[in-house]
Amino acid sequence: MVEWITVISLILFGLFLIIAEIIFVPGTTIVGILGFLFLLVGVGLSFNYFGSETGWTTVGVSAAVSGLILYYSFKTNVWGRFSLKSSINSKVNEGDLDLLTVGMEGQTTSALRPIGKANLGDKIYEVKTLGTYLDSGSPVRILKIISNQIIVEPIN
């Protein structure tokens, strides 16, 4: 009886880890690999404890249960509760560039590595240098405005 409990526990724990991999952990990670290993160990122990016929039956039952779980979960949209349904449609500096002109001066409010924030006029914008690293509080000048990007240069 203990052998059956061991085999069934290992197989169920393996299936649980594989499902956790699919739902919670993106990509192939150690969780899915461990789940597959637990499943293999459970099936291997069934061959070892009960012989070939029972071992192959365990393989068939495990495969059928795994297939049914996958079929049920996709058919009834169980994963829908875990999926992201909203999206972000905004962009950086969108619509705020009308007040800015090339040559306008300001001061960085964060370090630019090479992207950061700067106070230009009375607003804080996300700005970018041409590769120069600047510390917070450095004076900058707008070099060009391309699309929603503000390219700045340091003022010496």
Q: What value does the mean pLDDT of the chain take? A: 88
The C-alpha atoms of residue 90 and residue 108 are separated, in whole angstroms, by 23
User: In this predicted model, what pLDDT tens digit does every residue of 19-53 receive, in sequence order?
Assistant: 888 777 767 789 889 999 999 999 999 999 999 99
User: In this predicted model, what pLDDT tens digit does every residue of 72-97 receive, in sequence order?
Assistant: 877 877 767 767 778 887 777 666 78
The C-alpha atoms of residue 57 and residue 43 are separated, in whole angstroms, by 10
The C-alpha atoms of residue 19 and residue 23 are separated, in whole angstroms, by 6
Task: Flag whether pLDDT at 120 surpasses 70.
Answer: yes
The C-alpha atoms of residue 150 and residue 156 are separated, in whole angstroms, by 19
Looking at residue 13, its pLDDT comes to 94
Share of the chain above pLDDT 90, in %: 56
**Contact yes or no for 11/62 (Cβ under 8 A):** yes
Nearest to 119 by CA among 136, 132, 106: 106
**Contact yes or no for 45/7 (Cβ under 8 A):** yes
Cis peptide before 139 (omega within 30 of 0): no
The C-alpha atoms of residue 40 and residue 6 are separated, in whole angstroms, by 13
Please compute the mean of the pLDDT values over residues 97-112 and round it to a whole number: 92
Q: Which residue has the higher pLDDT, 74 or 135?
A: 135
The C-alpha atoms of residue 120 and residue 10 are separated, in whole angstroms, by 62
Task: Flag whether pLDDT at 5 surpasses 70.
Answer: yes
Looking at residue 43, its pLDDT comes to 93
Q: Which residue has the higher pLDDT, 137 or 90?
A: 137
Q: Which residue has the higher pLDDT, 20 or 62?
A: 62
Tokens of 53: 């016929």
